[in-house]
Each structure stands twice: as structure tokens, then as C-alpha cells.
């Protein structure tokens, strides 16, 4: 078995992440992601990990009745239970409200940090 990190396929995958995913996350104010049904969704894991490393606010969208890990609950700034397929309008309102709360909270923290720096 070869070392995954030395594999040419890994290099191509890493290049694609650097070329596409990282710039996408850098251009956003927050990471809003639908939590997958499976616990080993690589795309979700990479985006979540990068969002954490970039200190992006994380809004995790959870399907009704879904269970999530305690670690994901701690990582997320907000957990929003939404049924996007059955109630798209209500889902959009819930997501928008969560985004406003998270950004207001983050902006408040930034303002507090700036005020401390001025002292």
C-alpha cells in the first residue's frame, strides 16, 4: 500500500482544493453548510476544517431529526434545523436570521477587540 500523501492523485486533489475551495471560502463572510447524512463526507470535512482554520463563522444546517456530533456542535456558531425541500421559504428565513445573529455577534467581538487595542 502506497503512502497517500505521496500519491500523485493527492497532489491533484490538493491543487484543486487550493485553486477552488480555498478562494471560495476566502471570499465569503461565513461558512453556511448543510450537514451531510453520512459522518464521513470528505467535502464537508475539508470545507469545515478550512472554515475553522480561517476563523470563519460557521452556520451548520441540520435536517429535522438528524443527530450531529458534539464536536460539530461546538465548532458551529449556530445550528439551524431546516427542511429545505419541504419548507424552502421557512428555511431561508431561518438561515437569514442565523446569519444576522452570527455576524452581529462576530462584529461585536471585533469592535470589542478593537476597543481593547486602543487602550
Is 78 or 112 the better-scoring residue by pLDDT? 78
Can you tell me which residue has the cell 463563522? 57
Per the structure, the count of domains in the chain is: 1
The answer to whether residue 24 sits within a structural domain is no
Q: 2-36 burial, b for 16+ CB within 10 Å, e for fewer?
A: eeeeeeeeeeeeeeeeeeeeeeebeeeebbbbebe
Q: Where would I find the H helices in 54-87?
A: 70-75
pLDDT tier, 115 (very low <50, low <70, confident <90, very high otherwise): very low
The answer to whether residue 10 sits within a structural domain is no
Is 2 or 4 the better-scoring residue by pLDDT? 4
Residue 119: the pLDDT is: 47
C-alpha cell at 84: 429545505
Structural domain of 103: 29-118
The answer to whether residue 37 sits within a structural domain is yes
The answer to whether residue 20 sits within a structural domain is no
Give the tens place of pLDDT for each residue, 4-63. 777 778 888 899 999 999 999 999 999 999 999 887 899 999 999 999 999 999 999 999
pTM of the model: 0.81
Amino acid at each position: 500500500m502506497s503512502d497517500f500523501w505521496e500519491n500523485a492523485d493527492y497532489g491533484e486533489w490538493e491543487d484543486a482544493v487550493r485553486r477552488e475551495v480555498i478562494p471560495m471560502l476566502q471570499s465569503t463572510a461565513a461558512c453556511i453548510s448543510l450537514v451531510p447524512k453520512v459522518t464521513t463526507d470528505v467535502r464537508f470535512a475539508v470545507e469545515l476544517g478550512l472554515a475553522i482554520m480561517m476563523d470563519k463563522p460557521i452556520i451548520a444546517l441540520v435536517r429535522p431529526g438528524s443527530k450531529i456530533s458534539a464536536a460539530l456542535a461546538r465548532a458551529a456558531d449556530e445550528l439551524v434545523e431546516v427542511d429545505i425541500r419541504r419548507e424552502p421559504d421557512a428555511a431561508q428565513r431561518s438561515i437569514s436570521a442565523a446569519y444576522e445573529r452570527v455576524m452581529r455577534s462576530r462584529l461585536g467581538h471585533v469592535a470589542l477587540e478593537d476597543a481593547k487595542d486602543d487602550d
